Amino acid sequence: MRNDRIVVIGGVAAGMSAAAKAARVKPDARITVFTNEIYISYGACGFPYFLAGEIENEAKLVARSIEQFRAQNIDVRVGHEVLKINPADKKVSVKKLGTVEEVDYDKLVIATGASPFIPPVEGVNLRNVFVLRNMGHAMELKNYISREKPKNAVIVGGGYIGLEMAEMLLKLGCKVAIVELAPQIVPNMDEDMAAILKEYLEKNGVEVFTAEKLMRIEGREAVEKVVTDKRELVSEMVLLAVGTIPNSKLAEDAGIELGIRNAIKVNTRMETSIPDIYAAGDCATVRHRLTGEDVYIPLGTTANKQGRVAGENAAGGNAEFAGVLGTGIAKVMNMEIARTGLSARELQQHGIEYVETVILARTKAGYYPGSEKIYIKLIAGKQDGKLWGAQIVGGAGAGKRIDVFAACMHLGATVDAVQDMDLAYAPPFSPVYDAILVGLTDLQKKLKRV
């Protein structure tokens, strides 16, 4: 059997998952990974905790070393930039230290990830304006904080990364302000749930300004002031955390079809519009399990799963990716937030009639030490009672309850089918009637009234 040449572009979650899976499926394949970074296979979701000092050094964030991959017969080449894909000749042009070489492939996996969106405003190129997307960004920010010990910081963007970084900077003694263009923080949650978190942040010393537009960043050489359409904020540093743009230009130039948000359009096998070329991770689209539509939801969990599917199929397998629900979770100080499925706002956009409920319960038995408040919002179809969405805001132990709802939605469950699930109980973990069941029972009552 011929030793297939599998080339992977990208050395983080999707790329290294693809390479590792391909090596397991076809051990005699010639697998080469090209990445323009120096670090590979790192956990970017751990950056805020690394910056806060909770993770002692960057090496802890690396899942597997180059040597470990090479022991699996995977040739990892760091500092190599792929300039061009030539599908007709099945070649990629690769640049290293000013030298360009042509590399042949039989199967190609594009896992080029995404780049931070940079608002087109004056001052974004000033010193001490940061983004946080790769290990280089994290090291740059770590060195700055250690050296300069800033006292005032502005975070532009109120999503997961912005909120986690607010906690980190607060721990380091920094005064923090969040500026969010949307009417609320955490825009993928509903406003009533986001409002609970906003109030918590403000009580804990974080200034939160929603529905405000960044106009410019001022300073002679470094950041001195942030100007929005409503106020001026004194600041020594700015973190831009306003979303990502898929790195799809390489694919587009090769004639590969792009989809929503200019991400690379793929099917459930991670195949692109050109034979023998796959794409996975933050550069690619993904199918939403509830709507059946292509969406762009860049998450580390999705990147790893898509990478495995792409790698297996590139090695001759027949795997499919089941799709996503957009399940996400974050911790902000002592508050946990999580969501899955569709929000009420998204259901309105899809023209789906729904019934919703928001309940307040406890994370543990009320008499047990450490019992915390937990708010759960549940949304179901008005006609069929199908679970469409769940959102959680609460204290320690609240967030991972989202996985129960994600499992229900993954299987297309109705409220009636799951409202009396047999869930585990002991006082250190939950009340005898868990908040999950409280929410489902309340939603069931509301469904019966419509």
**Active-site annotation, residues:** 45
| Rounded CA separation 46/67 (Å) | 22
| Residue type, position 277, single letter | I
Pairing of strands 373-381, 354-362: antiparallel
| Residue type, position 299, single letter | L
Dihedral angle at the C-alpha atoms of 162, 163, 169, 170, nearest 10 degrees? 150
Question: Which sign does the torsion angle of CA 171, 162, 187, 414 carry?
Answer: negative
For residue 4, what are the β-bridge partners?
A: none
- Among residues 260, 321, 316, 263, the alpha carbon closest in space to that of 293 is found at 260
For residue 217, what are the β-bridge partners?
A: 226
Q: Which structure tokens are listed for 335?
A: 């508050």
- Compute φ and ψ for 124, nearest 5 degrees: -70, -15
In sequence order, the 6+-apart residues with CB closer than 8 A to the CB of 323 are 268, 286, 287, 288, 289
| Rounded CA separation 34/80 (Å) | 6
Q: Is 65 helix (H, G, I), strand (E, B) or coil?
A: coil
- Among residues 74, 65, 63, 1, the alpha carbon closest in space to that of 31 is found at 74
Q: Is 211 left (phi over 0), alpha (psi -120 to 50) or beta?
A: left
